[in-house]
Amino acid sequence: MVGIHMAEALQVPYFRSFPMPMTRTRSFPHPFATPNHPKGRLYNDMTYVLFDHAVWRAIASRTNSFRRSTLGLPSTTYEKLEVWKIPYLYSFSPHIVPSPLDWLDWIHCTGYWFLDNPQTGWAPDAALKAFIEAPDSRPIVYIGFGSIIVSDPFEIIRVIVESVLLSNVRAIVSQGWSSRLHDKKQQEGANEATKKEAGAKKEGNQEEDILKKYPDTIFSVQSVPHDWLFPKIRAVVHHGGAGTTAAGLRAGRPTIIKPFFADQFFWGERVEEMGLGRCIKQLTVENLSAALRVVSTDENMLRVANQVGHKIRQETGVETAIQCIYRDLELAKARTMSSIQKTAKTNYVTSTSKKDGEDDQDWTLIEDAMSGSISPGSWKPAD
């Protein structure tokens, strides 16, 4: 959110990049406003208008204060920034989210940006290798929900264990979510620190105890590189973060997503729509075990996932992004200079009629919201 203002202060070209779509379109809703059921092109379009104006409304006052006091720039408005002209470099695969036809020419879907082998000193321990290579016909799945903080980590472990046992699979379980909760508990006030730490330790021991009850079926890890593990297993279960989703799809693995918030619902629905896996909104033994049986036995789903994975592995996302930067460099700088000129001109015209400290931001924002003018031309309902 700050980059655009710093670009104006430096008068340099400005690009934006994100691992999820944030540009207005009628093809699908804003990732933070994914409904339970499709609501149509009009709804999709409006989610971007509302989200952008809500965010600007929340940050406008502090942003303009930062511009004046730190960057030495006059106040601005959302419309004067000409956000719709900013070139975007979206770091996800066009095979997963094809570029909508209503995106402008400087909105690029480049393909994923993978950092291969980031943990160069990492090597699997003997126990993990033995678990993967064990002569067991049951397929192996990975289950991990990243750094999500949950209220009851023991309940999640219980659901996972029971679901795995019911599904005739083996599982490598990453417990990142519960350790984050324990860390949070241990940072509370000094008077409660001892009690909270003891409670976290007890809860942690309960989780380890239930996992260790089935050593031939469940293997617990704190973390493991996805690019190493995913190609060696049958399917992945996770929270639907953009990076984990990309890693699983690149490996050609059927995917189960249990979204918790934000864009995770968007990726979960995308995976299910493409026939690459399942999206389960409620984490229950019934839902998870049913999804595990599907991803571990459906050969057609595995075939489709492998085909998509092959396409993703052929992409050159980083190189494509670099080419797009060179192609749109002058356009990006022109937007920066146009925004500077509009802001300077407006402030010059209004400076003689405004009282000291008065800011026209609120009035401009209301006018913009009513007209929906955040892209070229007036907003119109879907056909």
Same domain as 90, residue 34: yes
Tell me: do 133 and 104 sit in the same domain.
Answer: no
- The average confidence (pLDDT) of the chain is 85
Is 269 in the same domain as 307?
Answer: yes
Supply 366's token pair.
């209301």
Residue 203 confidence (pLDDT) above 80? no
Domain identity same for 98 and 148: no
- Confidence grade of residue 121 (pLDDT, cut at 50, 70, 90): confident
- Mean per-residue pLDDT, 30-41: 88
Whether 383 is covered by a domain: the verdict is no
Q: How many domains does the chain have?
A: 2
Position with higher pLDDT, 370 vs 262: 262
How confident is the model at residue 373, as a pLDDT?
A: 34
* Distance of alpha carbon 280 from alpha carbon 259, whole angstroms: 7
In a shared domain, residues 140 and 274: yes
Residue 175 pLDDT:
80
* Same domain assignment for residues 307 and 364: no
Q: Check whether 364 has a pLDDT greater than 50.
A: no
Confidence of residue 372 (pLDDT cuts 50, 70, 90): very low
**pLDDT tens for residues 133-177?**
999 999 999 999 987 888 788 889 999 999 999 999 999 999 876
Please report whether residue 277 resides in a domain.
yes
Q: Is the pLDDT of residue 118 over 80?
A: no
Pair (179, 303) in one structural domain? yes
The CATH number of the domain holding residue 281 is 3.40.50.2000
132 against 38, higher pLDDT: 132
For residue range 264-278, list pLDDT tens digits in order.
999 999 999 999 999
94 vs 351, more confident: 94
Q: Report whether pLDDT(382) > 60.
A: no
Residues 146 and 285 grouped into a single domain: yes
pTM recorded for the entire structure: 0.81
| Domain end point (choices 280, 296, 313) | 313
Residues 258 and 195 in one domain: yes
pLDDT given at position 196: 52
Domain that holds residue 27: 3-112+317-371
Residue 64 lies in a domain: yes
Are 14 and 99 in a shared domain? yes
Q: What is the pLDDT of residue 348?
A: 56
Q: Is residue 162 part of a domain?
A: yes
pLDDT in tens, 304-334: 999 999 999 999 999 999 999 999 999 999 9
Q: Are residues 351 and 254 in the same domain?
A: no
Answer whether residue 381 is part of any domain: no
Residue 376 in any domain: the answer is: no
Which of 266, 289, 313 delimits the end of a domain? 313
Do 18 and 162 have their domain in common? no
Domain C-terminal end among 293, 313, 333: 313
Residue 367 has pLDDT above 70, yes or no: no
- pLDDT value at 61 more than 60: yes
Does a structural domain hold residue 382?
no
- More confident: 119 or 267: 267
